[in-house]
Structures are given as structure tokens and as C-alpha cells.
Structure 1
Amino acid sequence: MAKMGERRFGRWNWLGMKTLAWREVLRFATVWQQTLLAPLITAGLFLTVFALAFGRGRADVMGVPYLHFLAPGILMMTVIQNAFANTSSSILIAKVQGNIVDTLMPPLSATEVLLGYLAGAIVRALCVGLLISAGVGVTLGLWPTHPLWLVLVVVLGAALMGSLGIAAAIWANKFDQMAAITNFIVTPLSFLSGTFYSASVLPPLFYALTHWNPVFYLIDGARFGMIGASDASPVQGLAVIALFVAAVMTLCWYWLKTGFRMKA
């Protein structure tokens, strides 16, 4: 019992949680060409296509050139998609292959499992965000106006979408179900969030609906961090994001604690 108490450092199994987090980081780091380089190339392609499509004929948006307006949205959209993919793929693959028991059997609480998975998603999101920010800075000369705010929004966005990835992977039992969640929930939330346009130009109904989309506040927060301008109040957006993070993390914690669709 003494050894167990020492290993858990009281009520927390720090070693187990750190090991799970490190495993999640190594999962994406060992295939960096797919998890880090590919998102950078995808973001670059988006910017290139829009630059070729609009050229210099597009009017400024929020007082900045359109590509400067677009870059933060592309950055955040890529970040949250990668955070979602990191947790959802890890858990679902383990469930399908039948080795999820390797995560469930160790003396890890639901909170420790949740934080361990989220750590991998957040580290991957920060790496992707850093690479894209550097690429945008070098190619467009656009560097973050409020870098600490941008980092905070990226971390919260990764926590939100990483938690959503955990919830989706717990609920799904096969890849088709996960594909449905990605195609009909994650992708629409990403594309209909003001990534490619300012919400201020939308008709009143769609403007109101956009403000119910949590990803809108992530895109808007990243835009404030990059160019110093936003559609909504940055502080209000941060509060809304924090509420969504708390809600989804609570759901994940409850499902992990009860073993919902995890313990057959």
C-alpha cells in the first residue's frame, strides 16, 4: 500500500497520466509527415487558391487585406480539425482493435484518462498552430498582434475539439459512425463559422445562428490574436468557449467514469 501511495503521489496517478499523455504525443510525432507537415501544406493550399481566385481585386475586410483576414481562420480551422482527429482516432482505433483495455485496466481515474488524451491533442494543436503561424509570417508578413491571446485560444480550441473527439470516439463503434460525425458535425461547424467571410455580412437569421456556433468564437478569437480585429467581443467569445469546453469535458468525464460504450 505504501508503494501504491508513493506511485500515485496521493490521490493523483501522475506517472500514469504522464505516460498516457506521452504516448499520445508520440502517436502523432512518429508520423509527423501526416500530422504536422500535411496540415501546413493544406493551409498553404487554401491560401494559394484564394490568392489566385481573388488576386488583388478583393476589397479589404476588417481593414486588412483579404488574405490577412483569411489566414487566422485557416489556422484555427486546421488546429481544431487536428485536435479532434488526435483523440478520436486514438480511442476508436483502440476500440476496434480490442486493445482499449490497455488504457482501461491501469489505475487511472476518469479525470486522469481525460487529461492524458487531451494533452496529446493540445500539444499537436500547438505544433500545428506554430508551424502555420510561422508560414503565414514568412509568406504574408503577418505576425500575431496578440500572441498570448492566440496561444490561449488555440489551447481552448484544442481542449474543446479534443474533448469532442473523445466523446465521438466513445459513442462510435466503427469508422463509418466516426465518418458521419466528422462529415455532418465537425466539418459544417468549421466551414460555417466565419472562416472565409465576416459574420457581419450575413443576413440577420444566419448572423444569429452563427453566434450559436462555438467554432465561430474560436475563429474570431484567433483573428483577434492575429490581426487585432474581430466580429464579436473577444472576452465574451472566450467566456463562451470556456463554457463549451467545461460542458463537453464533463460529458467525457462522465462517460469515462461509467464506462459508457467502452466496457463491453
Structure 2
Amino acid sequence: MNWSAIRAIYLFEMARFFRTMAQSLISPVLSTSLYFVVFGAAIGSRIDQVEGVSYGAFIVPGLIMLTVMTQAISNASFGIYFPKFIGTIYELLSAPVNFLEIVMGYVGAAATKALFIGIIILVTSFFFVDLQIQNPMAMIAFLVLTCVSFALFGFILGIWAGNFEQLQLVPLLIVTPLVFLGGSFYSISMLPPVWQTISMFNPVVYLISGFRWAFFGLADVPIGTSLAAIALFTAACLGAVWWIFKTGWRIRQ
């Protein structure tokens, strides 16, 4: 394992993150603060509690997941797309670095950025609501797994994308709606039975449910099912990345 190559890619990507601090960090935090004001204050004043938890606190896991997923995808997809766009990816492919080391560098940096932003948002939420975490280790585990899995997905998206517009296509038109419809701001049990059944086909439901369980001990689906879902998603992404580098799809073209 070429740890020097992994470290070089990782540090390069992290340096870009800190160079664009206003866009990378301040913007997501401000957006989340607005969600707290709108949903927590305006709607929360009309909804006292959800399953025994104040509405302002109830939406915290969903808000963190919304930001973490989109940031992990965005950072990973741009990180690998830009070398493709300017042509420097061929230098990387010709270097004595295998695909696993390339993935570890780019995905590791994207996951770290998303994790950092998620923690900042979690800290920010304490200024808005009274929040207690019942299972902090489980919360960290779910957060890390989500960052890594969606960074892998973003890496695949960056290789697939043919232009900058396509980089935003999946996060805006697919991921964000799935998060909003995945129980970010409500419990699935509040929906009519037919919509509860339909929601079970939304993969994001399992992630948010498991993450919320770590906070409050409440879950729309069994915790084991949530873990199995994120493990399956991660394995699928790893398989897709392996196939991409094996075949050279969208890399050597």
C-alpha cells in the first residue's frame, strides 16, 4: 500500500477545502441555521412533540443527514471530476498508484470534509434546541458510515459526469428529494398506511431512522435493517468503483 500517494491526494483535497472555507463550511452551516429558524421555530411552534421529542430536536438528525449526504457527494464528485476536466487524471493513472489508493485519497478527503461539516452542524444545533444523545458511539458510527458511503457514491458520480451541470443533477433532483421524503422532518408513522409502505422503498429512510435512533432511541425501521441497508449501499459502491477502474469506463475515454 502506497501510503505516501494516499496522503498526497488526501492533503491536496483537504487544502482545497480550507481555501474555499466560506463556500465549503460557512454556507452549509448558515443554510442549516435557516432550517432551524423556519422548521424549528415556525413549524415547531405548531407541533409540540413527535413521539415524545420536541420537534426542534427531532429534526436535528435529518438536517445533519441532509447536509452530510449532499456535501459528501459534492466534494467527492468534484474532486475526481476536475482532474478529468483538465486532463491531469492521466498523470495520476500513469503513476505507481493503484485504484484502491486513488479511491482512499479522494473518498477519504471527501468523507472527512462531510464529517467535519456534520459535527459543526451538530454543535450549532445545541444553540437552537435542547439536545441529548442517548447513543453517542452509534451516532458517530452512523455518521462516519454515511460520509464514506456517499463519498463513494459521489466519486462514481464524478467519473460518470460529462460536464459540471451533471455533477449537480443527481444531488439536486434525486438525493435531496429522497432526504426530504425520507423522514427528515417527520416520523414515517405519521403518514397514512399507504404512504408508509411507499416510504419503505426510499433507501434514505433507513439511514435517517438509524441516525435518529442514536439520538433518541426512536426508529421507523429496526436498527439492524438500517445497518444492513448502509452496508449494502457501501458494498455496491465499492463494487462499482472496482468495475470502473477495471474497465476504464469514463476514465480512459
TM-score range normalised by the length of the shorter chain: over 0.9
Match of 1:223 among 196, 212, 215: 212
Match of 1:243 among 203, 209, 232: 232
Matched with 2:97 is 108
C-alpha contact (below 8 Å) 2:189/2:196 kept by paired residues: yes
SS in 2 for 1:177: helix
Q: Please, which runs of 5 or more residues in structure 1 have no aligned partner? A: 1-11
Residue type of the partner of 1:21? Y
Q: Does 1:199 align with 2:198?
A: no
Greater than 3 Å deviation, 4+ residue runs: none
Matched with 1:258 is 247
Q: Does 1:211 align with 2:192?
A: no
Matched with 1:147 is 136
C-alpha contact (below 8 Å) 1:164/1:248 kept by paired residues: yes
SS in 2 for 1:126: helix
Match of 1:48 among 37, 42, 47: 37
Matched with 1:180 is 169
C-alpha contact (below 8 Å) 1:68/1:142 kept by paired residues: yes
C-alpha contact (below 8 Å) 1:95/1:173 kept by paired residues: no
The RMSD of aligned alpha carbons is 1.6
Matched with 1:14 is 3
SS in 2 for 1:261: coil
Q: Percent identity?
A: 35
Residue type of the partner of 2:103? L
Residues 260 and 68 of structure 1, relative CA distance in 2, 3 Å threshold: same
Distance 1:96 1:166 in 2: 14
Q: Please, which runs of 5 or more residues in structure 2 have no aligned partner? A: none
SS in 2 for 1:142: coil
> What TM-score do you get using the length of structure 2 for normalisation?
0.93
Distance 2:195 2:41 in 1: 28
> What TM-score do you get using the length of structure 1 for normalisation?
0.90
Residues 159 and 205 of structure 1, relative CA distance in 2, 3 Å threshold: farther
C-alpha contact (below 8 Å) 1:224/1:230 kept by paired residues: yes
- Matched residue pairs, number? 253
Q: Does 1:63 align with 2:41?
A: no
